[in-house]
Each structure stands twice: as structure tokens, then as C-alpha cells.
Amino acid sequence: MKVVSTGLDNFKAGKLAGQKIGLVTNQTGLNRHYQRTAQVLTAAGVQVAALFGPEHGYYGVEQDAIALQETERDRWSGAPVYSLYRHKDDERAGDSNPFGPPPGSLDGLDGLVFDIQDVGVRYYTYPTTLGILLEQADLPIYVIDRPNPIGGTIIEGPNLEPEFSSFVGRYPQIPVRHGLTLGELALFINRYLLNGRAKLEVLKLDGWQRDMTWQETGLPWLATSPNLPALSTARLYPGTCLIEGTNLSIGRGTAQPFELIGAPWLTRPDRLAQELNRLARPGLYFRDTFFKPSYDRFAGQVCGGVQVHLQPEDGQPEQKNGPAQIVRSGLHLVATLLKLYPENFGWLPAHFDRLIGSDKPRLHLTALALGSEGQTWLEELFEEWAIQEAHFTAQRQDILLYGAETS
């Protein structure tokens, strides 16, 4: 197995020696010896003067969309911990900058270090937090780079239309699945979307190849947030997350979030599983099941539905970084639910549109009532996606730090 070293494993203080630094991190900020980022920086002679936590908090223990208002002291270092997620996306009143650094929190700092494991999907909010810092902080920003856990080769999904920009997708030109490391994504945002305004430096990985699975890196896996506990979850997330924009459960409150999909009114899950498997979505198998969430949507109620299983494609013994058409499969899943359960299925329109980056899929699928015409329209939509994917593939070449063979 080829050893992959993260930017933290390779960290040398260099120009940061003796400087007062603000560290943006959470529970994923560890080196391969399980030392926290603050420990590594401090041991190298960097003064960690302030800590900043993204959504889910500095310790990574909060559920999604939980606003954290108060400054606290780090239980390990005693440094102040500031929240970069102080309001939900639709609750900004009273804070003119609810997703940026709190007033005064950057005073006296010489720079910011950002070290968080991303999952490689536009919906995930950590890249938005990094982008806001690139926009707003007039300080050098050092991104400690880590592998993309669902690989660096597969690009899928539509671009975001600017009017649907939100905390779950801030920037146009970026598809749902972008195949970049967080350092590369920061370079893309800074170059193409912010006109190079940020003072950005990426502390690079070593030994990573774009088609590697996470297992091939030899790095320890940590749950990146409370509802992304496993690699299988990360591989399904680009598609199944779209269910968040409907009135079904996505399995929050169970041990298998983003793998379980259902609702109390779905009393014949075998019917749903048969229809989904009939579509033969590449790399996926849908097993009918029942589950009962302990919290979140339908807490304490038995839900019928499906568990989404990853399976090898084309006879391959192992699936490399999840299905290549997982976003398309997610939209097929939503379309099938609308077709089979028109009286029960419901949209959460604003959230669904923010996730997919447009209102067109929702409006068209609703209007067509999902007969054969609806499936034809999906294929036409996917052809539009293919054009956008090809454009992004070409555009990102200039910012790639790691080729087929890593530097």
C-alpha cells in the first residue's frame, strides 16, 4: 500500500513559526498518529491563538442546522473557540455576518489555518465556510490538504444557478460532485469566482492519486459529521441527500443515515424496491425494509422504505469511490417516489432547489406527473448536465495539484 501523507502529516512551521494563528478545524483535524491539528501546530512553534468551528461545531457533536452562538474555551488548549455557524441559512436576522468570523475574533492574528476533512460534494457546508473566509478575511489563509474520500476523477451533477446560492451551495460553476481536494477547490474558487482576492496557500498532500479509494490511502477514517459516519455513507450522499428536499426521512436518527429512505405512509416498501431495481441504476441495489428514527423526521414512528446498497458494477470485485451516476440516480429516486406516491409525496421546495441548484427539475417533474414523458425529460436534463460536466472538467485542469501520478 502506498503511504499517503496529508498536509498535516507534512507540516513544517516555516513562515508560520512564531506567528499568532487562528485555526479553523473540527474532530477531523488529526494526523495519521491521531494528534490534533492544534497540537501539531503548537509543537512546530506556531501560536494557536484562536479556534473556529464550522457547522456541527469545533468538536463535531452538533446535529445539522444547529446554530452555535456562544464563544467557549477549548477543553484541550484553553484557546477561545468561535462559531462560524451562528444562524441557519434562513435565519440571518440580528447578525450581519452569521457565517463569517464574529466581530473582533480575527484581531491580532497573523493568519488562518483551515484543516477539515471534506467529502467532495457541493451540498456539504465545509467548503462554503472556507469560501466565506476566502471572501472576507484579509489575512493569509493556509489550507491543510486532505484526500477527496470519494475520489478525484468522477465529476457529476449540474452547476448551481446563481439565484439558488445558499449555505449548501454558494458558488456557480461547481457541480454536485467535483472530484477536487479541498485545497484544489479553494484554488478554483479563488481564481475563477473571487478574482484571486484571497491570500491563499495550500499545504499539499503527498502520495495521493486521483483514482485512489480511501482505503488505499492508509489514512484513518473519522466521521466527518454526525450523520456521515462511514465511507459507504459518503459514497451515497451525493445522490441520496436530495431526499432532504422532500417530506421523506433520509434515515437521520438511525445508524444508517443517507442509506435509509422512507416514511410511515410507505406501507408496501417491496413495491418501491421493485420499481427502483427495475430501473437498474448502476452500482445500486434497493432493499425493502422498515426502520424507526429515534430523532429528526418521524421520530418514534415505523417507516417503510428502502435501504440503498452499493454493489459492484460490471463484475468488478470492488467499487471505486461509489457509483459514477449517483447524482442522476438520486434524481431518479425522487422521480420514482413522486410517480408511485403522488398523494403522499411532498416537496420542500426551497431546500430541494437549493440542493440541486435550480427549480427546473422540481417544476418539470411535478408538471409531467412522471409518466414515460417524465423519464424522457430526465434524459434530456442529463444531457445538459453532461455539457456542464465537460466544461468543468476542462476548466479545473489549471488548478489541479495532483495528476494521475501525484507530485
pLDDT tens profile 245-300: 999 999 999 999 999 999 999 999 999 999 999 999 999 999 999 999 999 999 99
- Please, what is the average pLDDT of the chain? 91
Q: State the pLDDT confidence band at 96, using cuts at 50, 70 and 90.
A: low
pLDDT at residue 72 in the model = 83
Residue 356 to residue 361: CA distance in whole angstroms: 8
Find the mean pLDDT for residues 128-150.
Answer: 97
**The pairing of beta strand 20-25 with beta strand 47-53:** parallel
Return the number of other C-beta atoms located less than 10 Å from residue 327's C-beta. 26
pLDDT tens profile 313-364: 665 545 689 999 999 999 999 999 999 999 999 999 999 999 999 999 998 8
pLDDT at residue 106 in the model = 95
Higher confidence at residue 59 or residue 40? 40
Find the mean pLDDT for residues 302-315.
Answer: 87
Which of 15-19, 119-123, 319-323 is the least confident region?
319-323
Q: State the pLDDT confidence band at 71, using cuts at 50, 70 and 90.
A: confident
Model confidence at 224: pLDDT above 50: yes
Find the mean pLDDT for residues 6-16.
Answer: 95
Angle at 306 between CA 380 and CA 295, to 5 degrees: 115
Residue 185 to residue 188: CA distance in whole angstroms: 5
In terms of Cβ atoms closer than 10 Å to its own Cβ (0-12, 13-18, 19+), residue 96 is: exposed
pLDDT at residue 2 in the model = 63
pLDDT at residue 259 in the model = 98
pLDDT at residue 373 in the model = 60
Model confidence at 375: pLDDT above 70: no
Instruction: Please measure the distance between the N-terminal and C-terminal CA atoms of the chain and give it in whole angstroms.
Output: 17
pLDDT at residue 91 in the model = 43
Q: Which of 318, 325, 232 is nearest to 280 (CA)?
A: 325
Model confidence at 406: pLDDT above 60: no
Domains defined for the chain, CATH in brackets? 14-226+394-399 (3.40.50.12170), 231-370 (3.90.1150.140)
pLDDT at residue 258 in the model = 97
Query: How much is the pTM?
Result: 0.93
Residue 251 to residue 306: CA distance in whole angstroms: 10
pLDDT at residue 312 in the model = 77
Residue 130 to residue 114: CA distance in whole angstroms: 8
Which of 14-23, 73-82, 197-206 is the least confident region?
73-82
Higher confidence at residue 369 or residue 59? 59
Q: State the pLDDT confidence band at 144, using cuts at 50, 70 and 90.
A: very high
| Contact assessment for residue 28 and residue 116, using Cβ atoms and an 8 Å cutoff | yes
Residue 100 to residue 217: CA distance in whole angstroms: 33
pLDDT at residue 233 in the model = 95
**Cell numbers linked to 113:** 489555518
Model confidence at 82: pLDDT above 50: yes
Q: State the pLDDT confidence band at 89, using cuts at 50, 70 and 90.
A: very low
Looking only at Cα atoms, what is the longest distance across the chain? 65
**Cell numbers linked to 62:** 452538533
Most confident of 73-77, 88-92, 316-320: 73-77
Residue 131 to residue 84: CA distance in whole angstroms: 12
Q: State the pLDDT confidence band at 227, using cuts at 50, 70 and 90.
A: very high
